[in-house]
Amino acid sequence: MDLLLDVNIVVDICALREKFSAIAAQAVEQCILSGGKVWLYAGSVQTYDYNLRNELRRAYLSKGRQLSNAQCAGLSKATLIEFAKDKNWLAALSAEGNVFEAQDPEDEQFIRALDRLIPGEIALLTRDEQLLNKQDPRILSPEQYLTRRPEARPIDFIDLKGQQNDIRPALETGIHRVLHHGQYIMGPEVKELEEKLAAYVGAKHAIGCASGTDALLMALMAYGVGPGDAIFTTPFTFIATAEVISLLGATPVFVDIDPVTFNIDPAKLEQAIQAVKTNDGSLHPLPLTPNALPLRPRGIIPVDLFGLPADYDAINAIARDHGLFVIEDAAQSFGAEYKGKKACSLADIACTSFFPAKPLGCYGDGGTCFTDDDGLAAALDSIRVHGKGSHKYDNARIGINGRLDTLQAAILLAKFDIFPEEVTLRQEVANRYSSLLSPQSSRFTPDASLLTPHVPAGYTSAWAQYSVLAKDEAHRAALLKRLQEVKIPAAIYYPKPLHLQTAFAFLGYKDGDFPVTEDMAGRIFSIPMHPYLSEENQKTVANVLMEREEK
């Protein structure tokens, strides 16, 4: 549980009020130590300061020392700066402004602030009897807080709250600015973000769009993909990768994955292209086509699964040999690297997603296309705005409504400031998992072994997910059950390969067509992963996974 501090608690601690400072400090430190956040209310800044000055003057006078105005001001300033260092500031909203009709406007502001927060997740800490006598369970004295049974904080699969607390001032300022300038569509934040993203990945152009799915769709549209075109991709991915191919009337040709990286296998990709070119299904499983017409190889969409880039040297070489384009599905890999280059700069067009759970996620849907090609960039820019031309009402092509919202761009700008640091933190979390889950770890039984992710030399992962492989489906079910019993969240990405999903039944693929993918889908699962995952929580997860199975 978080705590919002009433003025008297802050004054108790900063002025070292004899009767009250100890218990107030204990309540505050208990909250921080148990993983809660301690909040100061931005609407009370002056009250914190002036009340503290008065209390300091009174307290020292009672000990026989008269403080000057400057000493009171200096003490108040220095103690408040120190106290606020590890606290969070809760913004005062306009709904908390017009409180003059209330019996106590200051108390009313705190109550209204509580009204917009989640009950049970935060309490107002005070020793003001008038507030405590309201019998509101959201209002606690330090004694009441300290006598509560401490709640166990659940382990989050993804911790967006921790991140939000770190960037709250920039986030709120950015959102507020958009609300005031009112350019909700293609506002200045979109351009600013695009420039920053392009510079970060080392691409010439970044074209923000409404989602990662739209990014893929726009990329295919920029190449004019349509019926009769074969687009090679992996069946071990989220449906968006292949869905956009079918939406345009083209045909996804699935290619099995590498069992170590879970990404498209370049050797099998070559076979698939040959099979399409010769229309020979004996070389590689091929999809059914309307009227059994042969397909024309057009492009490849490798997916950087879980944040690890695919093998682009090999893939791009194959594409060059066959005259195909390559679209990097970097929905999960923004922040990763491949042989000295950033993900999102590894193919003709790269597409990323800002879905909230992604390494760089917004608070809704968002995405971006990256390219070095001026012509493709112009096409993408046009497609995302209904195929706009030079005249607003003379559209040059068929496009989509695929713009990135200005509000989402403002959120992403705030998040982007700490993104490089978060990538490093994710790396540390992943390294710790790999060490904790290694066969050398204590209490490990060889027959319960898990395969941890492998990152080839020259690659880094953005660690969108930390996915491990169980021995078999039964082993995975047992491990997931164990995690569930102790309320540790886990997920399976992806339990059913695309070629076996109902939506793609029309392609005529069958069980056994892509054995590596099918094997992984039966064994893989992902455990909590985010930059703020503590070592203690990681040990808890690892211990549950590594415990000897009860006989």
Partner 1 sequence: MEIQTVWQNGVFKPIQPLRLKHMLVTIKVPDEEIADFDPANEKEYTSEPYKTTPVVQGRADALLIRMEQIHNEILALPEDQLPTVTDKQLERIRAMEMREDR
Interface with partner 1 (CB under 8 A): 7-8, 11, 13-14, 16-17, 21-23, 25-26, 28-30, 32-33, 46-47, 50-51, 53-55, 67-75, 77-79, 82-83, 128-129, 132-133, 135, 141, 143-144, 146-147
- Token pair for 435: 């060490």
Handedness of CA 85, 90, 93, 95 (dihedral sign): negative
Of 478, 483, 465, 470, residue with least CA distance to 533:
465
Cα atoms in the 13 Å half-sphere on the side-chain side of 347: 31
CB of 73 to partner 1, least distance (A): 4
Amino acid at residue number 456? P
Q: Which residues pair with 352 in a beta bridge?
A: 368
Instruction: Determine the number of helices (DSSP H) and then strands (DSSP E) in the chain.
Output: 19, 17
| 196, 205, 218 from 379: Cα distances, Å | 21, 12, 9
Q: Which is nearer to partner 1, 143 or 511 (CB)?
A: 143
Q: Find out whether 265 and 257 touch, Cβ atoms under 8 Å.
A: yes
**Rounded Cα gap, residues 276 and 255, in angstroms:** 12
For the chain, how are helix, strand and coil distributed in percent, rounded to 5? Answer: 45, 15, 40
Q: Which is nearer to partner 1, 13 or 468 (CB)?
A: 13
Q: Which is nearer to partner 1, 52 or 269 (CB)?
A: 52
> Who contacts 333 (Cβ-Cβ below 8 Å, separation ≥6)?
304, 307, 308, 309, 343, 344, 352, 359, 461, 462, 464
- Token pair for 207: 């074209």
Q: Find out whether 310 and 304 touch, Cβ atoms under 8 Å.
A: yes
Q: Which is nearer to partner 1, 147 or 442 (CB)?
A: 147
By CB neighbour count within 10 A (0-12 exposed, 13-18 middle, 19+ buried), where does 487 fall? exposed
- Token pair for 418: 């700490």
Q: Is the peptide bond before 50 cis (omega within 30 degrees of 0)?
A: no
Of 95, 102, 123, 92, residue with least CA distance to 9:
123
- Token pair for 348: 């003709």
